[in-house]
Amino acid sequence: MTTTENRRSRRTEILEDRPVNLDGFVEEWPEKGLVAMESDFDPQPSVRVEGGRIVELDGRARADFDFMDTFIADHAIDVETAEEVNAIPSVEIARALVDPRASRDELTRIGRGLTPAKILDVVKLMNVVEIMMAMQKMRARRTPANQAHSTSAKDNPIQVAADAAEGALRGFAELETTLGVVRYAPLVAIALQVGGQVGRGGVLTQCALEEATELELGMRGITAYAETISVYGTESVFVDGDDTPWSKAFLASAYASRGIKMRFTSGTGSEVQMGNAEGRSMLYLEIRCILMAKGAGVQGLQNGSISCIGVPGAVPGGIRAVAAENLVASWMDLECASGNDQSFSHSAMRRTARLLPQMLPGTDFVCSGYSAVPNADNMFAGSNLDTEDFDDWNTIQRDLQVDGGLRHVREPEILQVREKAARALQAVFAELDLPRITDEEVEAAVYANGSGDYPERDVLEDLKGAQSVMDRGVTGLDLVKALERSGFHDVAENLLTVLRQRVSGDLLQTSAILTDDFVPLSAINDANDYGGPGSGYRLQGERWEQLKKLRHVTSAEDPETEVS
Amino acid sequence: MSAPTAASTSERTLTLKEVGPAKRASRPDEVVVAVSPAFSDPFTKTIVDVPHAEVIRQILAGIEEQGVHARVIKVWDTADLAAVAHTGARLSGSGISIGLLSRGTAMIHQRDLPRLSNLELFPQSPLLDAEVFRRIGSNAAQYAKGESPAPVPTRNDQMARPRWQAKAALLHLKEFECIVAGRKPVEVEPVISRA
Amino acid sequence: MRVSAPASGSGPDLGAADYPLSVNRQDLLRTPTGKPITALTMNAVVAGEITAEDLRIAPETLQLQATLAESVHRRQLAANFRRAAELTAVPDAEVLAMYNALRPRASSKEQLLGIAENLENKYQATVCGALVREAAEVYERRDLLARDEED
């Protein structure tokens, strides 16, 4: 056998050119925490209770606790059951997680007493299919849902309003925006709220900003919820983020005190990315984040690596670990907005494989940001899915008969809500004496794809307007009045109903969203009751008829025509 | 975008010859280039394989074409970009520095700014090529002269995360291993030779 | 819906079947200004009878939601609602200032204890006060109190 140096086979060349080879992969380095979930450097589970408090946690005595250990021991773990449940063999707990006869209630009862290392010990026993089986049962809300990103590369409020309306119509239960130029935030948050309520009354909106501004927009009723409240798995990285478990717990109460739904954000890979994983695996540290969130009493968590997805994505078993972290959040009885929200791979095949562990079993929000704008306009630095994937997503739902929260909508309906959203925003801006939105801009919004399809805005004038919204103290109620005065009665009524929700506090409960009829749907009145085949959420009836629709389906009655 | 002749650059190697402890200079027409512990040794190139020799050559050329003097120091006790850059700024006669990590991440800093602030930040190391490094040098020199240059345009690539995020984390960890706690910054003479 | 509701410590004996309160128990819901939730109509908005203050949550409502959360075994969520009930009395700016004071190395131990006392004495926010006291203790042990020389 002879081979010629420097000559490659045609097949190798073809493989080299495949998009997947543009992705980055690295070897594990467990000593530094560059490892997904199987590391000899993670602690062994242990717990000891004395005098009603935990004095030893995962091999560490109370005197040596860092602040994560302290917070988790004192707030997250049920002291009364800790020793009992931690003594259950991990394999029994893992099997119960996949056994449909073991109820969700029983597993959350066990989960409430477990230590981080014990939880890791359990999920390490599970392969990805078992993780999905368990997720199907442990998800807090019975009905799965989805969340969209609605942003603009030019922070154009008209674009955000139109895309929010389309996103809401397509089925997203929550809409999230953020900014290129932060000072644009008030106008874009208003656009998101108005557009969202045009598309589908009851959709919930948020604007991701630094903590204080985000809270202020929420307090004014311009946004409905918040989720970019980051927590980390080591003390040093937490401190680098300028917070502690106590400051974040206080913030959680601050949001609830204003009737605003809120969830934390965390994810595998953030600590090692910041160079301070303290030699622990990514999943071990993420489990500490999940327990910290639980201890703070926040209703939910956005996790699934999120902005660090390139790190677990590059190591062996990383996407299994990401599926496991979503499962643990659900198991700990938190709402889980399960990632799939950041650019992940050059390979379409790999992008799809990455989302199946959330999409197939269903989660509270399959994506914590499906880009409902072209990725070029995505100011969260791109999502795993964007507008170009809408038809693929709908087809996968139909093929596998799973509910990923979206549906095919016929173009005339889409154009109608886009126009109405732009018109409503035009009216609100006029009523509030904000920079004018022209008819030309409204027309552009109806047919546009991305920010390049809109006339340029006068950015300086817009920023002045944005400042005046803050200075004048414009509130959600002012938006209701402006919509009502300008004849958008139904939109005004939708928004008022959303605002009224904060008086009731119903949306503060775990996994709460609003239905089309403005009925809060949470893990209380829509508790996941999966108990094996034939039980739990089933895609059937009217909803299944909706999801059978695609852009092109040949009519059975008249095969020379299509139905859509 | 075009890097000057890739063929010739690949032959250059960089050695940082230690001159002595880095001191604060008084000449107001200098920019300090502060590099991180693993720069040039053991690492020799950025995350996207731009040789460190080329990085330094372009930055120095950018500074010198503005008629400003350049001085290179190596910071040993931290691999935090803001800290590296701020250390350089405090030693710089003009108060202006360029901080550089081995993977290519760069920052222009000024002595009077808080450590966590900066004049210009270039966080996306995979997008920094020879031309950008030259412009960073040029801008730093213009700040040193008291001018207000237009910031070097930053690029963005949404697919940088899947391709580079993990490698960047790995390089970051390796760089951390090269930290010598307590060791003071050292002035170095960059020697670029053709291998 | 099938979860049974244990008796709660105070207030009405609420259980999962009462949720959502905005649908099933409107009789229990009032604005902080004392209006029933059913008064929040578009007609009232147009007539100028509704202010932003009416669209806030009342502390009593947060206590109700806490009771509900406890009935479905969400102890920490309930505790958060009870802290939140206390914070409804604290003005927005003060809430934000307290949050900032709780950031690492932002406050001395005395400052944190001062905040706790203020919460307890001025706002009767004893659960929140206890959280801040706990933070002060942990921050001292973990070297997270304000340092004298900050650059």
What residue ranges do the domains of chain B occupy? Answer: 10-148+160-194
User: Smallest Cα–Cα separation from A113: which of A331, A275, A308?
Assistant: A331
Final residue in a domain of this structure, among C88, C117, C133? C88
- Model pLDDT for residues A393-439, shown as the tens digit of each residue: 999 999 999 999 999 999 999 999 999 999 999 999 999 999 999 99
pLDDT at B62: 98
- What tokens does B18 get? 């230690």
- Residue A61 burial by Cβ neighbours in a 10 Å radius (0-12, 13-18, 19+): exposed
Report the CATH number of the B10-148+160-194 domain. Answer: 3.40.50.10150
pLDDT at C151: 42
C-alpha distance from A314 to closest chain B C-alpha (Å): 6
C-alpha distance from A244 to closest chain C C-alpha (Å): 6
The yes-or-no answer on residue A240 being catalytic is no
Is there a contact between A385 and A338 (Cβ–Cβ < 8 Å)?
no
Q: How confident is the model at residue A214 (pLDDT cuts 50, 70, 90)?
A: confident
Cα–Cα dist B38/C143, whole Å: 30
pLDDT at B10: 53
User: Smallest Cα–Cα separation from A226: which of A266, A186, A175, A181?
Assistant: A175
Architecture of domain A32-138+224-337: Alpha-Beta Barrel (3.20)
Final residue in a domain of this structure, among C69, C88, C107? C88
List A159, A302, A342, A343, catalytic entry: A302
Which residue in chain A has the smallest CA separation from B116?
Answer: A240
Number of structural domains chain C divides into: 2
Asked if the model's pLDDT at residue A20 lies above 80, the reply is yes
Cα–Cα dist B35/B33, whole Å: 6
- Model pLDDT for residues A160-198, shown as the tens digit of each residue: 999 999 999 999 999 999 998 989 999 999 999 999 999
- Residue C42 burial by Cβ neighbours in a 10 Å radius (0-12, 13-18, 19+): middle
> Is residue C4 situated within a structural domain?
no
Which residues does chain A have within 8 Å of residue C139's beta carbon, measured at their own beta carbons?
A: 244, 246
Q: Which residues pair with residue A521 across a beta bridge?
A: A513
B33 three-state secondary structure: strand
Spatial strand order in the sheet of A53-57: A47-50, A53-57, A60-61
- Domain of C112 in residue numbering reads as 89-151
- What tokens does A163 get? 């895309």
- Model pLDDT for residues A372-388, shown as the tens digit of each residue: 999 999 999 999 999 99
Q: Which residues pair with residue B108 across a beta bridge?
A: B98, B120
Share of chain A above pLDDT 90, in %: 96
CATH number, residue C115: 1.10.1510.20
Is there a contact between A327 and A131 (Cβ–Cβ < 8 Å)?
yes
Spell out the domain ranges in chain A.
32-138+224-337, 140-202+365-384+404-564
Neighbours of B47 (CB within 10 A): 24
Which residues does chain A have within 8 Å of residue B169's beta carbon, measured at their own beta carbons?
A: 26, 34, 269, 272-273, 275, 311
pLDDT at C8: 41
Mean local confidence (pLDDT), A59-75: 98
Cα–Cα dist A214/C103, whole Å: 17
- Model pLDDT for residues A502-526, shown as the tens digit of each residue: 999 999 999 999 999 999 999 999 9
C-alpha distance from C136 to closest chain A C-alpha (Å): 10
Asked if the model's pLDDT at residue C11 lies above 90, the reply is no
* Nearest-10 crossing angle of helices A348-359, A128-138: 40
Instruction: Please give the mean pLDDT across all residues of chain A.
Output: 97
Q: How confident is the model at residue B195 (pLDDT cuts 50, 70, 90)?
A: low
- Model pLDDT for residues A520-554, shown as the tens digit of each residue: 999 999 999 999 999 999 999 999 999 999 999 99
- Residue A367 CA, distance from chain mean position: 5
User: Smallest Cα–Cα separation from A416: which of A168, A151, A189?
Assistant: A168
- Do the domains at A32-138+224-337 and A140-202+365-384+404-564 have one common CATH topology? yes
Is there a contact between A523 and A510 (Cβ–Cβ < 8 Å)?
yes
Q: Which residues contact C60 (CB under 8 A, 6 or more apart)?
A: C11, C30, C85
Which residue in chain A has the smallest CA separation from B167?
Answer: A26
A372 three-state secondary structure: coil
Mean local confidence (pLDDT), A95-114: 98
Cα–Cα dist A311/A258, whole Å: 36
pLDDT at A4: 61
Which residue in chain A has the smallest CA separation from B176?
Answer: A275
Q: Which residues contact C8 (CB under 8 A, 6 or more apart)?
A: C14, C67, C70, C71
Q: What angle do CA C20, C21, C27 make, to 5 degrees?
A: 155
Instruction: State the sign of the Cα–Cα–Cα–Cα dihedral B156, B161, B164, B169.
Output: positive
Between A34, A269, A346, which is nearest B162 by CB? A346
- The β-bridge relationship of strands A335-337 and A368-371 is unpaired
pLDDT at C3: 38
Asked if the model's pLDDT at residue B9 lies above 60, the reply is no
Q: Which chains touch C (3 or more CB pairs under 8 A)?
A: A
pLDDT at A211: 78
Helical residues (DSSP H) of A61-208, grouped into ranges: 67-71, 79-86, 90-98, 104-111, 116-123, 128-138, 157-170, 185-199
Cis amide leading into C20 (omega within 30): yes
Same domain, C118 and C134: yes
- Model pLDDT for residues A427-455, shown as the tens digit of each residue: 999 999 999 999 999 999 999 999 999 99
Q: How confident is the model at residue B115 (pLDDT cuts 50, 70, 90)?
A: confident
Is there a contact between B85 and B99 (Cβ–Cβ < 8 Å)?
yes
Is there a contact between C21 and A506 (Cβ–Cβ < 8 Å)?
yes
Same domain, C36 and C48: yes
Fold of A140-202+365-384+404-564: TIM Barrel (3.20.20)
Cα–Cα dist C142/C124, whole Å: 29
> Radius of gyration over alpha carbons of chain B, in Å?
15
pLDDT at C12: 77
DSSP code at position A74: I
Share of chain C above pLDDT 70, in %: 90
Mean local confidence (pLDDT), C42-46: 97
Which residues does chain A have within 8 Å of residue B173's beta carbon, measured at their own beta carbons?
A: 29, 32, 34, 272, 275
Asked if the model's pLDDT at residue B6 lies above 50, the reply is no
Which residue in chain C has the smallest CA separation from A294?
Answer: C76
- Residue B3 burial by Cβ neighbours in a 10 Å radius (0-12, 13-18, 19+): middle
Lowest-confidence segment of B141-145, C7-11, C28-32 by average pLDDT: C7-11
> Is residue C42 situated within a structural domain?
yes
Residue B163 contacts A, CB cutoff 8 Å = yes
DSSP code at position B152: P
> Is residue C2 situated within a structural domain?
no
- Residue to mutate among A524, A526, A530, with most C CBs inside 10 A, is A524
